[in-house]
Amino acid sequence: MSTYDVVVVGGRVAGASTALLLARAGLSVALVDRGQRGSDTLSTHALMRAGVLQLSRWGVLDDLRAAGTPAVRRTVFHHADGEDLAVTIRPRGAVDALYAPRRHLLDRLLVEAAEDAGVHVLHEATVTSLRRDPDGRVTGVVGRTSTGARVDLAAGLTVGADGIRSRVAEQVGATTTWRGRTSSAVLYRYVDDPGADAYEWTYGAGAAAGVIPTDDGASCVFVSTTPIRMRRLRRLGVERAVAELLAAAGPAAVERVRDLPPVSSVRGWAGVPGFVRRSSGPGWALVGDAGYFKDPITSHGITDALRDAELLATEVLAAHRGDLAEEAALARYQQTRERLSRRLLDTTERVAAYDWDAPGIRTLLLRLSAAMADEVEHLESLAPAGAAS
């Protein structure tokens, strides 16, 4: 058995970032993920300004640029009443543009930065249960590697960054404090689209579509709608479903992707309503989708994870230094997360209802934009913790 200050379960955006920040502050950290190092995951990957800001504050943005991820300099909104709105991404501070790296790249860069900071990284190892002391406090994790070796890690704090079906949340019995009612079903694929430099979002008749410029001269094209409508359309075949939803989103979406050759097959997400879970208890905390999941239609889950990794790490470090009792520190993490997330969550819930008209979706998007501005302001006000030493 090995002993650490913190063991993090789940090594993608939420987990790798949390591990990175804690290790840079001097804690001993283990990071365990059942997946392969550098693997992809089911997700599109548009980052919002707060997410890019975090990567820049931690010194990871330069790695992303060096890997060739293209800068996104505009966002264009197309609406069903024919009104288009193009917004230029204003450079501010170290954020010169937005970026939408493929997850196999972003997650790998974060894991490598964590490893450079001294994190012990263990891939292809599945956590199956939690260790506990006689008082019931969580004291680490137990699991197995893909070759069958036992994993037994003791830790002062166990962080569940293991996604929406979090094993850590299940094992600690984390209660759901809010549950959404709406959700998006999504289809996406990659197309050859060199030189693209704008996020393009199109909102039409109960459907949305988007184009997200990414690595290797490709763009990710997605369509989304309600799960019921998606199930009906998918019976016609996936290509037909994509075509019908592009048409429903509007002519701008159809025109934009018409001549772009696909370079991948179509991937699908059936839809899961959002939720907020109680995210801490004796010896444990949840971060990323494990603790708070929001429908992907507003493209904000990765940005949330990068934000919340730092909110959590800040409070874990406060408790570690003895500035605050663990319970109070972790409660403060949840309160800050809730404060920054409430409007994003409520607005996303309404966008994912797909019952808006053009003025309605414009109002929701303005609300989202205001919530995102608050989030950026909060992160800009933080001390430059987490910069590479």
Q: By C-beta, is 24 or 103 nearer to ligand FAD?
A: 103
Q: By C-beta, is 293 or 356 nearer to ligand FAD?
A: 293
Q: Among 83-91, 228-236, 299-307, 358-366, which window interacts with ligand FAD (CB under 6 A)?
A: 299-307
Q: Considering the complex, what minimum distance in angstroms separates the CB of residue 386 from ligand FAD?
A: 17
Report the distance separating Cα 57 and Cα 362, nearest Å: 31
Query: What is the helix (H) or strand (E) element at residue 365, kind and residue range?
Result: helix 358-380
Q: Considering the complex, what minimum distance in angstroms separates the CB of residue 322 from ligand FAD?
A: 29
Q: What are phi and psi of 302, to 5 degrees?
A: -70, -45
Q: Strands, E, within 110-180: which ranges?
A: 120-122, 125-132, 138-145, 150-160, 176-179
303 binds ligand FAD (CB under 6 A): yes
Q: Count other Cβ atoms within 10 Å, centred on residue 170.
A: 13
| x/- map, 40-59, ligand FAD, by CB under 6 A | -xxxxxx-------------
297 binds ligand FAD (CB under 6 A): no
283 binds ligand FAD (CB under 6 A): no
| x/- map, 143-182, ligand FAD, by CB under 6 A | ------------------xxx---x---------------
CA 152 to chain centroid: 28
* Binding residues for ligand FAD, total number by CB under 6 A: 35
Q: Considering the complex, what minimum distance in angstroms separates the CB of residue 321 from ligand FAD?
A: 26
127 binds ligand FAD (CB under 6 A): yes
Residues 6+ apart with CB under 8 A from 125: 32, 33, 34, 143, 144, 145, 146, 151
* Alpha carbon distance, N-terminus to C-terminus of the chain: 30
215 binds ligand FAD (CB under 6 A): no
295 binds ligand FAD (CB under 6 A): no
CA atoms within a 13 Å half-sphere pointing along the CA-CB vector of 30: 24
CA 294 to chain centroid: 9
273 binds ligand FAD (CB under 6 A): no
| x/- map, 4-43, ligand FAD, by CB under 6 A | -----xxxxxxx----------------xxxx-----xxx
DSSP labels, 142-153 = EEEETTS-EEEE
Q: Among 23-31, 294-302, 332-340, 356-364, which window interacts with ligand FAD (CB under 6 A)?
A: 294-302
CA atoms within a 13 Å half-sphere pointing along the CA-CB vector of 344: 29
Helix (H, G, I), strand (E, B) or coil at 183: coil
288 binds ligand FAD (CB under 6 A): yes
Q: Count other Cβ atoms within 10 Å, centred on residue 62.
A: 13
108 binds ligand FAD (CB under 6 A): no
Report the distance separating Cα 29 and Cα 22, nearest Å: 7
63 binds ligand FAD (CB under 6 A): no
Q: Among 23-31, 148-156, 292-300, 359-367, which window interacts with ligand FAD (CB under 6 A)?
A: 292-300
User: In this chain, which of 28, 37, 40, 126 binds ligand FAD, going by CB under 6 A?
Assistant: 126
Q: State the greatest distance between any 2 C-alpha atoms of the chain, in Å, as a whole number.
A: 64
DSSP labels, 42-94 = S------HHHHHHHHHTT-HHHHHHTTPPPB-EEEEEETTS-EEEEE---BTT
269 binds ligand FAD (CB under 6 A): yes
277 binds ligand FAD (CB under 6 A): no
226 binds ligand FAD (CB under 6 A): no
| x/- map, 350-389, ligand FAD, by CB under 6 A | ----------------------------------------
Strands across the sheet with 218-225, in order?
84-88, 74-79, 198-203, 208-213, 218-225, 185-192, 267-269
Q: By C-beta, is 129 or 327 nearer to ligand FAD?
A: 129
Positions touching ligand FAD (CB under 6 A) are: 9-15, 32-35, 41-46, 126-127, 161-163, 167, 186, 269, 288-290, 296, 299-303, 305
